[in-house]
Amino acid sequence: MEQDGKWQGVVVPMVTPVTRDGRLDEAGVEPMVEFLLQAGVHGLFVLGTTGEGAAVAREDAVRLVRRTVQCVRGRVPVYAGLGDALEPERDAGSALLEAGASVLVARPPTALPREQLENWTERLLASVEGPVVLYNIPTVCGVSVPLELLEQWLGHPRLRGLKDSENDAARLEMLLTRFRGRPDFSVFVGVGALMAQGLRLGADGIVPSVANLIPRVCVEMWTAAQRGDWTRVEACAQRAQEVAALYQNGRTLGESLAALKAALALRGLCSPWVLPPLLPRSPAEMEAVRATMQALQLLG
């Protein structure tokens, strides 16, 4: 949601429903959107890491944004991942904005040397025609967005915030001490284990992949933080971590995305198919996911 000119709340990095042959499953978008919006989430983020954004064909990316916006019907903003192009393309951003995206989310190109980040950011902000949230995810990009660079670009009319997915509690504290409370810049926490800490320190929102499965718990965490009920925040955070372990623990990022889709498929929310180079879970792995979900009381 947007309040007082800022983006806030629980923004779900929505999985991308795809068919067995690797194309967008347009019919599968609405059930996911409705499930999430009925839980009270404040925004949807498509084409992110959880949404396999780097593997979605450009044509399907535009179709996904358009279909998501149609299903949302103005109830929440739709954030759209711009990808990690070395040369940010005006046409790519324009296509997503024309399809109805409210905000573009851009991460640095993989393995971009740190000394080139300033130049890349300058080109990015010059190339797009709408609001941008930077996406810091060193585990994917291989580079961390320095706080000094953020401070340099504060106040730019295109830059509206940061989604921070760096698993570093000390850095998160420095980030929020430095940038929280600004009227023109939102900080979203993207690491599940740090979300309770981030909310306590004044983060504007959270972007939990586990919200694909348990959006109400994530919304409750957010609302509890708004009223200062930190005991409840911690309880919700613990539940979120327990459920996230279902698809994350002991798996690579790609394997965890496939396991998350398997879990959603078992709940009837999404197909289990993933995009190359990822592979769907085997029948035996699906049964293991089912057993864990039953233990976590995620299946009726």
- The pLDDT assigned to 85 comes to 63
Mean pLDDT for 89-96 is 80
- The pLDDT assigned to 4 comes to 54
- Direct distance between the N- and C-terminal alpha carbons of the chain, in angstroms, rounded to an integer: 31
Cα dihedral 95→96→98→102 (10° resolution): -160
Tokens in use for 216?
A: 């109400």
Mean pLDDT for 106-125 is 90
Judged against a pLDDT cut of 90, whether residue 111 lies above it is answered with: no
Q: Which pLDDT band, with edges at 50, 70 and 90, does 5 fall under?
A: low
- Cα separation values, 29 from 25, 75, 223, Å: 7, 15, 26
| Closest C-alpha to 76, from 106, 50, 46, 108 | 46
Which architecture does CATH list for 2-228? Alpha-Beta Barrel (3.20)
Distance CA 245, CA 21 (A): 28
| Overall pTM surpassing 0.75 (yes/no) | yes
Please write the tens of the pLDDT for every residue from 58-80: 999 999 999 999 999 999 999 99
- Please report where in the chains the tokens 């957010």 appear, as a residue: 222
- The pLDDT assigned to 110 comes to 87
Judged against a pLDDT cut of 70, whether residue 87 lies above it is answered with: no
Mean pLDDT, the chain, whole residue set: 94
List, in sequence order, every beta strand (DSSP E) within the chain. 2-3, 6-7, 9-13, 43-46, 78-83, 103-106, 132-136, 159-164, 186-189, 205-206
The DSSP-derived string for 148-214 is HHHHHHTT-SSEEEEEE----HHHHHHHHHHHTT-TT-EEEE--GGGHHHHHHTT-SEE--GGGGT-
| Closest C-alpha to 222, from 245, 195, 190, 244 | 195
Confirm if 168 and 157 have CB atoms less than 8 A apart: no
Mean pLDDT for 263-288 is 96
Q: Which pLDDT band, with edges at 50, 70 and 90, does 3 fall under?
A: low
- The pLDDT assigned to 6 comes to 77
- The pLDDT assigned to 86 comes to 57
CB neighbour class for 169 (10 Å; exposed up to 12, middle 13-18, buried from 19): middle
Judged against a pLDDT cut of 80, whether residue 2 lies above it is answered with: no
Domain range list for the chain: 2-228
